[in-house]
Amino acid sequence: MEASSVVEETEINRKTQTVCLMILTAFAVAVALYWLKPAFVPFVWAFFLSVVLRPAVKFQIRYLQFPRALALMVTLGLVLVTIAVVGGIIASSIADFAANSSQYEQTVERLIRQAEYAGLLKTFGITLPEELDFTALLPPGSLRDVVLRMTNVIMSALSRGMLVILFAAFLLAGYTLRQEPSQGFLGEMEASVKQYVTTKVLVSTVTGLLVFSILALLGIPYAISFGAFAFVLNFIPTIGSVLATILPIPIILIMPGISSTSTILAVALPGIIQIVIGSVLEPKIMGKSLDLHPITVLLALIFWGVVWGFEGLILGVPITAIIRIILEKLKMTAPVAHLMAGRLEKGWSKG
């Protein structure tokens, strides 16, 4: 009995030390990820981009008999053209919105005046002046500051995009030199990431195109921009689909001349698309490629959102899936991987 007690106590101490070490390691890694964000984020983007582009490169090499260098150049060239076209369309849409901002200010003012006449503002104790001047609400020089900040953001995105393309080129070059597919742990990790990223890209593309088509048919302005937002935000589990549905609502409500039927359809149909694709279609296609419990996904969004901001919300879930695979392969950390997947019966209690 004494020997078994000693063994049990030793096992408890070992598990306690493991948990403490993992907590300290996680804290140190979080600090490192935060400070090294400018280097890590482009590399992670490049890794996922290379996973998506691998089939295209492989197709050109195998079936079109392109040399490896030419296949890489063609693939990356198409990526650059796609980014330039989509970015140009979105930029044009934003410029058009800025050019017609006075019209929307008048519409907003009319809606506010109608609410005042109906007595809604008085209910909340709000009193408006006789003349509304939206520009007077902005501090002097703030509009110039906003323009400068937007310019800096665009330049930063372009420079990071070139770095991502460069990293992706090296990763794809290394992939084309490999003769056999990866086996074991590395193969499992690549297969999981490939299935997730490929499925997400296809589902997000379909979602974006459907949202754009519906809003365009209903005559909603900036439909292409909202379609692009739906594509990007669909990479954020749960939260993204909600944001993509809410984004067009202010434009729809203040747009002059739109009928009540079109307003309802413009809000309801994109929401139905998000629900059907996100809750029915995507889980069936995705299967168990991530093998993460919903609570783990939520915690991953919080953690990576704090560390890397908006980009962390997009990249956090697949990164967490990779971490789960790594932890599952190590004997001491396998129980943590089971907990991340929601398999409580294989947790710490069974060693």
For the four alpha carbons of 101, 107, 111 and 112, in that order, the dihedral sign comes to: positive
With tokens 């948990």, the residue in question is 19
Q: Which residues of 2-25 are buried (b: 16+ CB within 10 A; e: fewer)?
A: eeeeeeeeeeeeeeeeeeeeeeee
Looking at the structure of the chain, the number of domains it has is 1
Contacts 24+ apart (CB under 8 A), 249-258: 251/104, 251/220, 251/221, 251/222, 252/220, 253/111, 254/104, 254/107, 254/108, 254/111, 255/104, 255/107, 255/220, 255/221, 256/103, 256/107, 258/218, 258/219, 258/220
Is 286 within the bounds of a domain?
Answer: no
Q: Give backbone dihedrals phi and psi of 288, rounded to 5 degrees, phi first.
A: -115, 35
Contact yes or no for 75/56 (Cβ under 8 A): yes
Is 208 within the bounds of a domain?
Answer: no
Whether this model's pTM surpasses 0.75 = no
Total number of residues shown for the chain = 351
Contact yes or no for 268/222 (Cβ under 8 A): no
d(CA 316, CA 313): 5
Residue 217: the pLDDT is: 92
Is 50 within the bounds of a domain?
Answer: yes
Residue 100: the pLDDT is: 63
Is 120 within the bounds of a domain?
Answer: yes
Is 184 within the bounds of a domain?
Answer: no
Contact yes or no for 190/198 (Cβ under 8 A): no
Is 172 within the bounds of a domain?
Answer: yes
Is 148 within the bounds of a domain?
Answer: yes
The domain in which residue 94 lies consists of: 38-178
pLDDT tens digit at each of 351 positions of the chain: 456 666 666 767 777 777 778 788 878 888 888 898 888 888 888 888 888 888 888 889 888 889 888 988 999 899 888 877 777 776 676 666 666 666 656 666 666 667 667 666 566 666 655 555 544 444 444 444 544 454 455 555 556 777 888 888 888 887 766 655 566 667 777 777 778 888 888 888 899 999 999 999 988 877 887 888 888 888 887 788 888 888 787 777 777 677 788 888 988 999 899 888 877 787 777 666 677 888 888 888 889 988 988 788 888 888 888 888 888 877 777 888 888 888 766 655 544
d(CA 43, CA 50): 10
Residue 150: the pLDDT is: 47
Is 61 within the bounds of a domain?
Answer: yes
Contact yes or no for 308/41 (Cβ under 8 A): yes
Q: Which two tokens stand for residue 245?
A: 């549905």
